[in-house]
Amino acid sequence: MYRLSLHIEYLLGRHDCVIVPGVGAFINVRHAARYDRERRIWHAMSREIRFNGVVKEDDGLIANSYARREETGYEEGRRLMQQDIDMMMQLMERDGEVSIGRLGILKNQDGRPVFRPSHTPAQMSREMGYTTISMAPYIEQSEPESTAAASDSVATEAQEAKIETESGRKFDTRKNYYIAINKNFARMAACVAAIALLALSVVLPVSDSKQEDRASVVPVEKIITATCEMANRVTAEPATTATSAETEAEEKPAMSAEAEVKEDGGRYHLIVATFNTRQEADKYVRYNATAEYPLTIISTSTKSRVSVMSSDDRSELVRGMHQKGIKERFSEPWIWEK
């Protein structure tokens, strides 16, 4: 149950809608900053979490998050997700409500889930470092001066062609625009900008080497290490091999994609890449297929998947997914059932 709440909180920080299959959708709602003319107050931007119990179809977002977090295939991630959802529904039926981390409480009301957030939009705005700003003191001080400035700024070509500034220079209104800006207003705008920059510096995340307990963590350190090792190997090669490597790189894309693709009747496939079109999959195969790791394209009506292994025995692919060579060459392989 805690694991499911962790995934929902993490995904809501990066997506506007997170669907819990069979339960409902948590939705991010953001309100822009607004100005109350009657009270002369600027209300800061705010955010709130809402719940829609009608949207229940599985879009694969949480299942993929489980798979990345547990470093397993999509089907296994989906099984773990469903296990936690069943536990949540049992607790809600038994106790009448369950806690969704720091987001709020999900209650069972007349057989349907109802969400009660822990924070109001104003509270979440204050947690983000935003606050309301009263404009009344600035407006009261600037009203007499702004009125006079407004009357002076209405000057047209039919009145005066020039306006004399404090320095004694002549300002030609026939060639230039004249806009009167009150000094108090300019100072207030500068203060608001400084406060906004300070708030952003506090809210935006700062790079830190400490590990965090959060869902859907991409193995960045492994990717960086593998990239550095590959760069070192390329740098260490003799200069004489550069010509042959370039020749091979130029000749390899010219190969037909059909030469690299083979038909395989296995029930399970170890997928290393997924594309929307067959042309993208063909290009990936031409650049990544080798004699040791031949690649197969499996096309459906909506997707084209690239497989490196296939078998009727799923456990064989699980072992292959953890082979050192496959893990180094393909960052996130997963098992797909045809």
- The pLDDT, as a whole number, for residue 281 is 87
For 28-79, the pLDDT digits (tens) are 888 888 888 888 888 887 888 889 988 988 889 999 999 998 889 999 999 9
CA separation, residue 183 to residues 41, 111, 190 (Å): 20, 61, 11
Q: Rounded to an integer, what distance in angstroms lies between the CA atom of residue 82 and that of residue 205?
A: 32
CA 169 – CA 90 distance, rounded (Å):
81
- Residues of the chain with confidence (pLDDT) below 50: 146, 148, 151-155, 157-161, 163, 165-167, 207-214, 217, 239-264
Q: What is the pLDDT of residue 255?
A: 40
Query: Are the C-beta atoms of 205 and 13 separated by less than 8 Å?
Result: no
What type of residue is 256?
S
Q: Which residue has the tokens 């004489």?
A: 240
Kindly report the average pLDDT of the chain as a whole number: 75
